[in-house]
Structure 1
Amino acid sequence: MTTISIIGTGNMGQAISAVAGKGGTTVQLIGEDDATTQVTGDIVVLAVPYPALSAVIAERGASFAGKIVVDITNPLNFETFDSLTVPADGSAAAEVAAALPDSRVLKAFNTTFAATLSSGSVGDATTTVLIAGDDADAKTTLASVVTAGGLKAVDAGSLKRARELEAVGFLQLTLAAAEKISWTGGFATVA
């Protein structure tokens, strides 16, 4: 059975933990600053703010070798909320993949809010988790956890698609911060 370690106990970490637990996945929830707890999951979810990624990887990266590592960040400028902080042809997920060459890096959960993960819906639609990555088996493994938890999972393509997912996440965050959509809303996929 797949196990998940989530680094980050904020709203997103707790919401992802609840989805995974609902589907019967064993979850280990680790505080961002808890350097003493060993990461035991087959999947490691980095549920920390983008600026914290480099410290988490520096501290724990060696223990992620051979694991599926999920970057959920949106690398936006939190001071101005007017731009992403990665190059236009890059992504936070690409940076994570470069720093963790022995891990199978995925981008997921960044186009959903914690509230829509928890409720399982965006309006009348089931919450969809978009997953990008270069390892098909890793994407299937994560998608199985997501769907077992009652949500939809959509393969968004290779890890190169992470930059588009981050742009969608950025747009959604700026709309919510400007009160044009609610934090319980967002984008949905319909078949």
Structure 2
Amino acid sequence: MTAVTIFGTGSMANAIAGVLSSGGADVSHISHEQTGSAEITGDIVVLAVPYPAVDGILAQYGDQLAGRTVVDITNPLNFETFDSLVVPPDSSAAAGIQARLPESKVLKAFNTTFAGTLAAGTVGDLTTTVLVAGDDAEAKSTLVGLVEKGGLSAVDAGALSRARELESIGFLQLTLAAGEKISWTGGFGLVR
């Protein structure tokens, strides 16, 4: 059984936990209050926290993250203006995490879905699709397998360099929802 540790206890963390648990994973959480004192037990670690919280987690847990798969779900947007991403135009939050964790296998996933569509398993009439980018084929295959066994669709979106495009899609979807142009239970669907 694959063990997963999720940093976070909010709606996205719980929705991801539901999908991965349904896919056969043994899921545990580390809450904000436990950060720094709790041990990582999972082979896969999901960063289901706002982007500004990632820095502290990496500083406190960098050694424990070595050799593990680290799943970045963040959308690194400017939370003050809500009008831009805060990473360089030729990079991504996930690439920055990989640079800080060279011994980890970093994946970008879950950032192009809302908690409601993960929990419901649908976006409109379509099955919710999780896009996964990363450079380690085995790590991607394991996550894709858990997501699919959990009842959703999953697509290998390519190398970790594709995380920039995933973050742009996530940013667009967030701004549309915040502007009340789509609902928080809506979003983008993928027709294959």
Shorter-chain TM-score bucket reads over 0.9
Q: Contact (CA 8 Å) 2:117, 2:128: kept in 1 or not?
A: yes
For each residue in 1:12-56, what CA deviation from the matched residue of structure 2 results, as whole angstroms up to 9, or x when unmatched?
111100111122210011103312211010100001100111100
Percent identity, aligned pairs only, is 64
Aligned to 2:5: 5
For each residue in 1:140-161, what CA deviation from the matched residue of structure 2 results, as whole angstroms up to 9, or x when unmatched?
0000110111000100000000
Q: 2:21 is paired with a residue of what secondary structure?
A: helix
1:96-115 to 2 correspondences below 5 Å: 96-115=97-116
Aligned to 1:27: 27
Q: Aligned AA for 1:169?
A: G
For each residue in 1:61-90, what CA deviation from the matched residue of structure 2 results, as whole angstroms up to 9, or x when unmatched?
110111000000000011111000001001
| CA–CA separation in structure 2 for the residues paired with 1:3 and 1:112 | 23
Give the gaps of 5 or more residues in structure 2. none
Q: 1:130 is paired with a residue of what secondary structure?
A: strand
User: Cα RMSD over matched residues?
Assistant: 0.7
Q: Does 1:86 align with 2:94?
A: no
Q: Contact (CA 8 Å) 1:32, 1:56: kept in 2 or not?
A: no
So what's the TM-score if we normalise by structure 2? 0.98
Instruction: Flag as ranges the 4+ runs of structure 1 deviating above 6 A.
Output: none
Q: Aligned AA for 1:80?
A: T
Q: Aligned AA for 1:33?
A: E
Aligned to 1:48: 49
| CA–CA separation in structure 2 for the residues paired with 1:94 and 1:168 | 16
Q: 1:70 is paired with a residue of what secondary structure?
A: strand
| CA–CA separation in structure 2 for the residues paired with 1:32 and 1:5 | 13
| CA–CA separation in structure 2 for the residues paired with 1:147 and 1:30 | 24
1:101 CA displacement? 0.5
Q: Contact (CA 8 Å) 1:74, 1:166: kept in 2 or not?
A: yes
1:107-186 to 2 correspondences below 5 Å: 107-186=108-187
